[in-house]
Amino acid sequence: MPKRLLTFALCMFIASLCNQPTPLHAQQNSPLVTIDFESDKLDIPASELGWTKRYGNGNPTQWKTSKPAHKGNTSNTVLNIGGADVQSLLPLALTQPISPDTRLITISCQLHGSVLSGNAQPLRLAIASTDLKGITPFFGMTTDRSSDGGKMDLLRFYVGDNTSSDTVIPNHWYELQLVIKVDPDHPTACRATLFYRNLSDNDADFKIATGMKNVEFVMRKNAMPNHWGHWQLRGSYGGQVDNLQISIGTGAVNMQQASVPWTPSELPGGPVFSPITHQKDWISERDIYGYKPAFIPNPVSFDQNNIPYMRQGYHFQSGKKQIRRHPVAIQTLATNGQWEKIFFTAGVLDKYSWWDGNMHTGSFANERITFDKDNSLYTIIDAQRSNIGKVYLCYRDKSDSTWQYYPLPMGWTALETYDGHNAIEQPPAILSMTDKVLRLILPSKTDDGKLKLSAPVLIATDSLLVPNHSGGANSCLTVNGKTYVAWASDTPIEGQEGTPQYIAVYDHATEKLSKPVLLGVCGHGKPDNHNLPGITIDSKGILHIVLGAHHNQFKYTHSLKPYDITSWSEVKPFGKPKNMTKWGSYTYVSLLCDADDTLHVVGRWAGAGYYFRLVYMRKLAGQDWEPHKYLMVPFRNMYSCWYHKMSLDRQGRLFLSYIYYANQLSDAQLESYKAKWPDETPTDVTQHAGNWRWGLTPHDPGMLVSDDKGDSWHLATTADFQVENK
């Protein structure tokens, strides 16, 4: 006869469920401890099985050994424990000590979640230190609402501050395995992946909980595995637990699901996952992890064969040395696994032999590369600040063909880029702006392998579109013979603060431009050229717009009909609400839509202490926006910029280039800055803003990649570009 499982009380009572299916028992590597409740323990209170209770809010230093007295719903103690805030503890009784050098460890459990009177009952597990002064992050099942304003009627898997979109089926047994990648030298850099299987449905294989791959699992030194001493369970008024186990290694899961490729010569210690936090005195990922990519990170594009291409040419700092990358070139990955350079400006020099070679490069330049369906390549040469004063569309018909150059109007220029569902059936659309006058230029191919550029189409005379140094979302895209253009206006809406943002559509067949449609107003104060919208489209033809912001929440809307701009959903803010009395918020939109119609957004967020973090948000098709996740975190508050730009490859992987820039430095930060980069000569403080100095430059370009649709992000190395096409 199969044994029955303990009905384990996490709080004030035991909720016996005698007819539940028996969970399976996982095969694990090197188990250090196992608790397997036998049938003769059924319905016995945890306190009689050696578990002790502590009352409190999860902080071990404040736990009480007896339930605090109350007056009504208010505690007389330091803690307000609410209703059922109970910690249940049991010594681990390990078979052997855990080495401080342990790098991979698995915590396993079987959980049975329940919903009582419409309220989901959370089940949480952590490990406390021997002296009860340290604790790991909790994981298990947490509560959520199925509708706005409703009861907490759902259970979802979670790890620390990360909650999965996967929903737990009540009254089902699940087996969870939390595989922790331990960093003995950097406790705050530990990561974890949560695997689960539904035992009640007889699932044989584990799968990764959505959003729970290599998530942050921050520990303090006194909570690292070599200090572990107690199981800690926490819950509410229902639920059951069985088969608790700790093992060295990966347990019964297939870690290939959670592994990523990497190039050891570029990242010696193995893959590094976000969030990546810089350390005091300008210690970055290059210093902490030895990150040294063989390519120069920059916005990346992929041809029809999924081969990467990146422009290069800017100056940047690496360690104490200033790197100058000239002449300008395109990097691409050869079949031998080496990066090679393609020089694409020689034809301009042939025409203008006196050209000094200067081009507008770097984060403020449009260095995107676009490939059309024929694998023809397009990029912009902006030499208007050089001694020839020219801007060109640079075109290569085939990989073995010569370069062609087509003059463009002077001013700011943007090239439409691939973002999932704009297949670039024809040459990409071009936006050109001079003195707030925004125009659309549409190249087309001729029979002799050349291009013909249309006459510029006037879009707006009060546009705020500017060189987009950060974000880099599309401002135009072309599908079904129509080009959609979204822009910010310098003309305020009477009676409203903020920046009006519009859309119009140009029909290639009729050569007609629609009237502009107001999408919404975002931001505060006067119209602001930080508030630039991003546009994308999904597989059904629905247009999606994120309204840009400058230290405010982004706003989102979508068209109500496919390929149509006449009607839109209600404009709603998303992301973390701004603390209106202090701190900042979101700025600079990166926006993409993948093959599953998931929207991906990266922006800079300056909330919670005015630290300018790089954050990621996504919206699965038909669902709400998920909370943001940190990608990059500076060691200091005040001004930072990451000059980020996001790309999508032909397999649906996400790539995010960045390069870090800081300003508003304290005196101490300035001294350590000059010590690390002595070649720079920062100016004295200006009146532009508090502690603002000129002469500071961006440092340490990098790239993050997500190969699991945004669940996790890691530092990119050459190996990430060598994944075979599927």
Instruction: Going from the first residue of the chain to its last (726 residues), give the mean pLDDT of each consecutive group of 10, the final group possibly shorter.
Output: 35 30 38 67 52 50 41 26 53 90 91 88 90 91 89 94 93 93 87 94 92 91 94 77 85 75 90 90 94 96 97 62 65 95 92 88 89 97 92 90 94 94 96 94 95 97 87 96 97 93 98 98 91 96 97 96 98 90 89 98 94 96 93 95 97 97 94 93 73 89 95 94 70
pLDDT of residue 314: 62
Q: What is the DSSP letter of 47?
A: G
pLDDT at 54: 52
- The C-alpha atoms of residue 219 and residue 228 are separated, in whole angstroms, by 12
Q: Please tell me the chain's helix, strand, coil percentages from 3-state DSSP, rounded to the nearest 5.
A: 5, 40, 55
Give the distance from CA 388 to its chain's centroid. 41
When computed from its CA atoms, the radius of gyration of the chain, rounded to whole angstroms, is 28
Q: Cβ neighbours of residue 419 under 8 Å, at least 6 residues apart?
A: 474, 477, 536, 591, 592, 593, 648
What is the pLDDT, as a whole number, of residue 41?
Answer: 47
Cβ atoms of 132 and 223 within 8 Å: the answer is no
| 3-state secondary structure (DSSP) of residue 558 | strand
Q: What is the pLDDT of residue 555?
A: 97
- pTM of the prediction? 0.80
CB neighbour list of residue 667: distance below 8 Å, 6 or more residues apart: none
For residue 667, what is the enclosing H or E element? helix 667-676
Burial class (CB in 10 A: 0-12, 13-18, 19+), 19: exposed
Tell me the C-alpha distance between 525 and 387, whole Å: 39
Residues 6+ positions from 110 with CB-CB distance below 8 Å = 5, 23, 173, 174, 175, 176, 199, 241, 242, 243
Confirm if 483 and 511 have CB atoms less than 8 A apart.
no
Q: Is 674 helix (H, G, I), strand (E, B) or coil?
A: helix
Distance of alpha carbon 337 from alpha carbon 339, whole angstroms: 7
In 3D space, the residue among 612, 583, 586, 615 whose CA is nearest the CA of residue 602 turns out to be 615
Asked whether 95 and 32 are in contact (CB, 8 A), the reply is: yes
Domains in the chain: ranges and CATH: 31-51+90-253 (2.60.120), 277-444+464-721 (2.130.10)
